[in-house]
Structure 1
Amino acid sequence: MASVNKVILIGNLGKDPELRTTPQGTSLARFSVATTTAWKDASGAKQERTEWHDVVAWERLAQICGEYLHKGKMVYVEGSLQTRSWEDQNGQKRYKTEVKANNVVMLSPPPPRSDSVRAAPAREESEAAEPVAAYDDDVPF
């Protein structure tokens, strides 16, 4: 049977991506994505746990991430888990598992453009949507 190594994350960036170029000239971007799980404990109190996921993007995707992703913005990341190893200064073998991104989608809206696009004016109170109670008539089914 074939194996599957697929990761899908939707979360917020912890900081702006770190964009670098390898000695071979390949672009890479490193960034972290926070995902938060919420639940209620036995006493009914809300609990939360945030997990931080290290992500690496390569080549053109890295350049796009470096240009458009910013701290706090929500992103969709799709990729696979990849573990790399190296020796530190003390000769100890170190390991790091990260998400190798193959698709990144910016989910937060872009900042408003001040030069050509103006924000729509807020609706007047008279233009506000009808309250839901106005539709409480007899339902035909």
Structure 2
Amino acid sequence: MNDTHVTVVGNVVDSPRRVSLESGAVTNFRLAATARRFDGQTQEFVDAGTFWVDVECWNDLSGNVSGSVSKGDPVIVQGTLTTHSWEGENGRRSTPRIRAAAVGHNLARGTGVFKRSRSARQVESVPVPAAAGDALSDDLVAGRDYETAPEALHHADTADLAMEPAHA
């Protein structure tokens, strides 16, 4: 009931490892998240401490992560924070661990192409006309992947949009 839900943005620091167990498949990797702040005196961004955390991904997420995520990838992980403890040569040890509910690439750092995995429950496909050269639109289904009703869209006036500040 009192789970600690977290979202961590960082980089994968080792290759994800997938293992099949009796209770299901699990993929594990280590994540490093380094905070940055702007130093007003030097007028530069500086790194603060690094948060290291182990991430575990179970079942369908396990397969998707092992097939999509590599060492060095910038990712966003959302899940439940726990502490993994064990007895080591120097006594009791512990490390933070996230049981991931969702893992995705950080699109602020690059682009990506999403490919929907096929689940046991197939969704009825509705044909969508493909734009010239758009191979991905064959899998899109109205009402599931996007809304066509005018009230689903938000009006945006480009004169009202502020320029996003540049990041170092």
Normalising by structure 2, we get a TM-score of 0.54
User: 5+ unaligned residues in a row in structure 2: which ranges?
Assistant: 114-132, 134-168
The 5 Å alignment of 1:27-46 reads 27-41=25-39, 43-44=41-42, 45-46=44-45
Q: Supply the distance in 2 between the matched residues of 1:79 and 1:40 (Cα, whole angstroms).
A: 29
Q: Supply the distance in 1 between the matched residues of 2:14 and 2:41 (Cα, whole angstroms).
A: 35
Higher relative CO (CA 8 A, sep ≥ 6), structure 1 or 2?
1
Query: Which amino acid in the other structure matches residue 67 of structure 1?
Result: G
Query: Which amino acid in the other structure matches residue 11 of structure 2?
Result: N
Higher Cα radius of gyration: 1
User: How far has the Cα of 1:104 moved from its partner?
Assistant: 1.1
Per-residue CA deviation, residues 4-39 of structure 1 (Å, 9 max, x unaligned), is 5111012221122111123x2521111122222222
User: How far has the Cα of 1:46 moved from its partner?
Assistant: 3.5
| Counterpart position of 2:111 | 109
Q: Supply the distance in 1 between the matched residues of 2:52 and 2:87 (Cα, whole angstroms).
A: 24
User: SS of 1:67's equivalent?
Assistant: helix
The 5 Å alignment of 1:88-103 reads 88=88, 90=89, 92-103=91-102
Query: Quick one: percent identity of the two aligned structures?
Result: 25
Give the length in aligned residue pairs: 109
User: SS of 2:4's equivalent?
Assistant: coil
Per-residue CA deviation, residues 64-83 of structure 1 (Å, 9 max, x unaligned), is 11111011212221101112
